[in-house]
Structure 1
Amino acid sequence: MTDDRDESLEERRAQLGAELASRRAAVREGERGEVRAEVSRKGYAQAMKISSEFIAAIIVGAVLGYVFDRFVGTAPWGMIILLLLGFCAGVLNILRSAGEVATPKPGAPDDEK
């Protein structure tokens, strides 16, 4: 009787151990999926930030060019030039965000001196 009881306890312990291992593996897989989703969300957020900065730079250049043309009367040259400057500023912002161009630090010594 004690042998049957010990055997059934051992079988039950083995079953519980196997079930616990499978649940731990499922939890680990779920955590990996959450980490991948978090990385994906961060990438999406950065892409939205960069694209909105680029579009804002172009719009600001166009608006400033339009206002400049209205007051000075140089239509369409002010808008064309400031629109191109806004585009260049947008590209520079993208390169800075991507880490390709270092941001200037105020008070840093120049290499030419």
Structure 2
Amino acid sequence: MSPDENKQSEKDMKETDRHLSERLEKLGKTLDTRLDEASAKEEPNKTSAMSGLSQAWKMSSEFIAAIFVGGALGWMADSWIGTKPWGMIILLMLGFVAGILNVLREAGKVAGPERRMNSGKKQD
């Protein structure tokens, strides 16, 4: 090989290396962007799953608490007034209804009391 051919092949190699380096850098940036997008999509799913679980626990505990409170108030009313078992039955049913109403409010199926009162007023 002549010296001119060696210089030309070295130029071609340097140009090819530069071109490959540019492609590699571009690919790295694209990969980083896609990885960031993928991780951003995964994080809300984990958060929403945990918030959904916590919301379910909150709803179930409010429902059970409303039933227990209704039963306890009914038992106290019966022992105070002397109307066993009617006070407990009635207040237990009211506690059940209150528990269902709390669950529906939390799920967004029924408007809360403050939203109902504001919906009847005229807005300025």
For normalisation by structure 2, the TM-score amounts to 0.74
List alignment gaps of at least 5 residues for structure 1: none
Q: Among 9, 19, 29, which residue is 1:10 paired with?
A: 19
Which residues in structure 2 correspond to 1:51-70 (within 5 Å)? 51-70=60-79
List alignment gaps of at least 5 residues for structure 2: 1-9
CA displacement, residues 50-98 of structure 1 (integer Å, 9 cap, x when unaligned) = 2121111111101111111222222222111111110011111122222
Q: Among 18, 29, 32, which residue is 1:23 paired with?
A: 32
The structure whose residues are more often helix, as a share, is 2
For normalisation by structure 1, the TM-score amounts to 0.80
CA displacement, residues 27-55 of structure 1 (integer Å, 9 cap, x when unaligned) = 21111111211222222222222212111
- What is aligned with 1:38? 47
Identity of aligned residues (%): 40
Asked which structure has the greater CA Rg, the reply is 2
Q: Distance in 1 between matches of 2:48 and 2:91?
A: 37
Q: How many residues align?
A: 108
